[in-house]
Chain A
Amino acid sequence: MSTVRQKQNPAFYALIAVLVFMSIGPVVLMFANSFKLDVDIISGTSGMIFLPTIRNYEQALCDVLWYEPDHLDFCSLKFGGAFINSLIIALISTVLTLVIGCMAAYALVRFRFMGRDTVSLSTLMVRMVPPAVLLVPVFGLWNNEFCIGKTTLVGGWIRDMFGGRGDVCLAGTHSGIILIYVAMNLPFVIWILQSFIVQVPRSLEEAARVDGAGPFQVFFKIVLPLIKPGLAAAAIFTFRIAWNEYLLASALSDRDTKTVPILIVNNMSEFNVEWGVIMATGMLLAIPPIIFTLLASRQIITGMTAGAVKG
């Protein structure tokens, strides 16, 4: 049945072509523009015929380049540093979220214990909290409450080692941003992973337990390898949010811990937008998620449908 394909209407293929054009057109446009000089973008020597230049990328990455581009007098855009910050924050928070979320999901699926229903209900509730709602309390807490006094042992040590003034607070550090990302992503990861763990046959775990494996061994050696697709999906979704998030990062970061989205928004709100450079930074920010999508689209789609359809 499936080997014999129905002959489709040509209009059908036209529709698909239009859809593909609409969905990737803007991305391609940005890609093309990131290789154009501002003069070309504004004068509108339109279409795909132009002299590609990597100047925009040179200007964006000037603080990590090993040579000095001769068209630049001054390196104003510290994109390289922000890129590294984004990478650190996104990777660490993804790993932490996965490990912690996986354990919690396993406990929720496999054990009956007191408070189980409350936990799964509140996980679902927390999923709907928008980042904007967290902005005010997180700003207040991270700046004022989650601090170690500079006179205490640890606080004093940190001040001696890294310098700076005042109490040692979570705001402005990588760990501060990572903490809120992990907390924000946990409910979603738990929700997705639950639907994968349910499918692991219980008999397999029981067999391992009969052979003398402890609960932790069962978890790491039997369950984890079996839910790899789920883990991949969850990892991509977490990475995507941590990598793309702007609002909370902008409230919590200082000069040295800025992430890429903050940089882009700051440069957009200036009066004279340098389109070429900003598109280059946008492209650099978009590339990691695009690569993930191309490599693991199957896992993404499974994760998406598992999250919504079976949830």
Chain B
Amino acid sequence: MRIAQANRMTPYLFMAPAAIIMAIALMYPLGYMMWGSLRDWDPTQTIGEAEFVGLRNYVTLWNDPNFWESLTVTLKFAFFVVTFEMVIGVGLALLLDRDIRGMSILRTLFILPMMIAPVVVGLMWRYMYHPTIGTFNRFLESIGLERVDWLGNHALMSIIIADIWQWTPFIFILALAALQSLPRSALEAARIDGATGWQQIIHIKLPLMMPVLIVTALLRLIDAFKVLEVILVMTEGGPGLSTEILALRISRTATEFRELGVAAAMSNYLLILLLLLTVAMFAFNRWQEIRAARQKMAVEEEE
């Protein structure tokens, strides 16, 4: 009897530490943020002293052109980054999916960029983009071309390039893993039927990889909203607001403008956006499971 009771308690005991920590340091802060977003709150006050203003922070933001500018920059950044990384990453995976010597060394070298601290990545690229001493402009000058004002007029493009450098390998590795776990029989059959390389890719490989690719793209999309340090180090959001993504704006509103309430409201907007994306991903996963189950049933019925 005692043992049975102990067994019933086991899962809760195993869950308890994680649940407690996440409740204290994630859930409670998130609730606290929603509460704080309804207040006119500056860092010297405790939340109790701050004046309750209802939805004013949200309305202010809604009417603030700078906020919309920042949101546009964020969406542009996320869209371009994910699109380019998917195309390049999947393309490279299709090209390099061959039996070659030293593939594991190659993969090791490819994942280096994403293991390095974002701060350091920003540092490297800021140096390379430097208008006079930077690598790119030196190279352009040495072959007789004009300098490019990388972090000035083309700042958004430059940070997108840096992010592509850092995160394309992620897509590449996942796509390669997906490719290598494809059923060999389908590919064999296509080859015997005389499908060309392109036909194999378009009609067999890509459709079969699609589920993994969509999850990968969504993961990368969610992560693209988290990028902050690289941009902070490279441009500090400038020039003007041209690279000030939402995450950066939140941190500046909180630390420079000292408006915690507004920053909290902005965090909430960002959170809602991400929530929609995550729900989409979750729904997609579910839908796929159901479809797979149905196909399995159909196959079994035929037998």
A interface residues (Cβ-Cβ under 8 A, vs B)? 2, 5-6, 8, 12, 15-16, 19-20, 22-24, 26-27, 29-30, 33, 41-42, 44, 46, 99-101, 103-104, 106-108, 110-111, 113, 116, 119, 121, 124-141, 144-145, 179-180, 182-184, 186-187, 190, 214-215, 219, 240, 243-244, 246-247, 251, 261, 264-265, 268-269, 275, 278-279, 282, 285-286, 289-290, 292-294, 297-298, 300-301, 304-305, 308-309, 311
B77 sits at the interface (CB 8 A): no
Q: Which residue of B lies closest to A176 (CB)?
A: B25
A300 proximity list for chain B (CB < 8 A): 111, 115
Complex CA–CA separation, A308 to B181 (angstroms): 14
> Nearest-CB distance from A3 to chain B (Å)?
10
How many residues on B have C-beta within 8 angstroms of the other chain's C-beta atoms? Answer: 95
B226 sits at the interface (CB 8 A): yes
A24 touches B267 (CB 8 A): no
B116 touches A290 (CB 8 A): yes
A-B pairs with the 5 shortest C-beta distances? A183-B25, A104-B18, A132-B247, A107-B14, A244-B117
Q: Which of B101, B133, B173 contacts A305 (CB 8 A)?
A: B173
B263 proximity list for chain A (CB < 8 A): 135-136
16 A-B contact pairs sorted by A residue (CB < 8 Å): A6-B99, A8-B100, A23-B113, A104-B14, A128-B274, A131-B226, A135-B254, A140-B36, A141-B32, A145-B32, A243-B117, A244-B117, A244-B119, A247-B251, A285-B120, A290-B115
> Nearest-CB distance from B211 to chain A (Å)?
9
Q: Which of A30, A219, A285 contacts B127 (CB 8 A)?
A: A30
Q: Which of A44, A107, A269, A293 contacts B15 (CB 8 A)?
A: A107
A130 touches B128 (CB 8 A): no
B200 sits at the interface (CB 8 A): no
B72 sits at the interface (CB 8 A): no
Complex CA–CA separation, A186 to B26 (angstroms): 10
A289 touches B247 (CB 8 A): no
> Nearest-CB distance from B114 to chain A (Å)?
9
B229 sits at the interface (CB 8 A): yes
Complex CA–CA separation, A289 to B15 (angstroms): 30
A111 touches B10 (CB 8 A): yes
Taking A23-B169, A184-B26, A268-B122 as known contacts, 15 extra A-B pairs with beta carbons closer than 8 A to each other, sorted by chain A number, are A19-B110, A30-B120, A41-B133, A42-B133, A107-B11, A124-B278, A133-B267, A136-B250, A137-B33, A137-B264, A246-B118, A289-B116, A293-B111, A305-B173, A305-B174
> Nearest-CB distance from B90 to chain A (Å)?
14
Complex CA–CA separation, A300 to B127 (angstroms): 29
Complex CA–CA separation, A261 to B271 (angstroms): 25
> Nearest-CB distance from B191 to chain A (Å)?
14
A129 touches B274 (CB 8 A): yes
A279 touches B119 (CB 8 A): no
B interface residues (Cβ-Cβ under 8 A, vs A)? 6-7, 10-12, 14-15, 17-19, 21-22, 24-26, 28-30, 32-33, 36, 41, 43, 46-47, 92, 95-96, 98-101, 104, 106-113, 115-120, 122-128, 133, 135, 138, 165, 169-170, 173-174, 177-178, 181, 212, 215-216, 219, 222, 225-226, 228-229, 232-233, 236, 246-248, 250-251, 254-255, 260, 263-264, 267, 270-271, 274-275, 277-278, 282
B25 proximity list for chain A (CB < 8 A): 138, 179-180, 182-184
Majority DSSP secondary structure for residues of A touching B: helix
A27-B124 contact in complex given A137-B36, A141-B32, A309-B174, C-beta closer than 8 Å: yes
Complex CA–CA separation, A26 to B126 (angstroms): 11
A101 touches B18 (CB 8 A): yes
B32 proximity list for chain A (CB < 8 A): 137, 140-141, 145
A27 proximity list for chain B (CB < 8 A): 112-113, 116, 124
A145 proximity list for chain B (CB < 8 A): 32, 46-47
Complex CA–CA separation, A30 to B233 (angstroms): 15
Q: Which of A119, A125, A135, A290 contacts B112 (CB 8 A)?
A: A290
B271 touches A133 (CB 8 A): yes
Number of contacts between A and B (CB, 8 Å)? 279
**Of listed A126, A127, A134, A135, residue having the most chain B CB within 10 A:** A135
Complex CA–CA separation, A135 to B92 (angstroms): 37
A308-B36 contact in complex given A107-B11, A137-B264, A215-B10, C-beta closer than 8 Å: no
B95 proximity list for chain A (CB < 8 A): 12, 15
A130 touches B14 (CB 8 A): no
Complex CA–CA separation, A304 to B170 (angstroms): 8
Complex CA–CA separation, A11 to B106 (angstroms): 17
B254 touches A23 (CB 8 A): no
A184 proximity list for chain B (CB < 8 A): 25-26
Complex CA–CA separation, A2 to B236 (angstroms): 51
A130 touches B18 (CB 8 A): no
> Nearest-CB distance from A52 to chain B (Å)?
18
A24 touches B109 (CB 8 A): yes
Q: Which of B33, B127, B169 contacts A33 (CB 8 A)?
A: B127
Complex CA–CA separation, A303 to B7 (angstroms): 31
Complex CA–CA separation, A179 to B25 (angstroms): 7
A301 touches B106 (CB 8 A): no
A187 proximity list for chain B (CB < 8 A): 22
Q: Which of A5, A6, A107, A124 contacts B10 (CB 8 A)?
A: A107
Q: Which residue of B lies closest to A110 (CB)?
A: B11
A265 touches B233 (CB 8 A): yes
Complex CA–CA separation, A182 to B41 (angstroms): 28
B113 proximity list for chain A (CB < 8 A): 23, 26-27
B7 touches A215 (CB 8 A): yes
Q: Which of A44, A126, A214, A286 contacts B120 (CB 8 A)?
A: A286
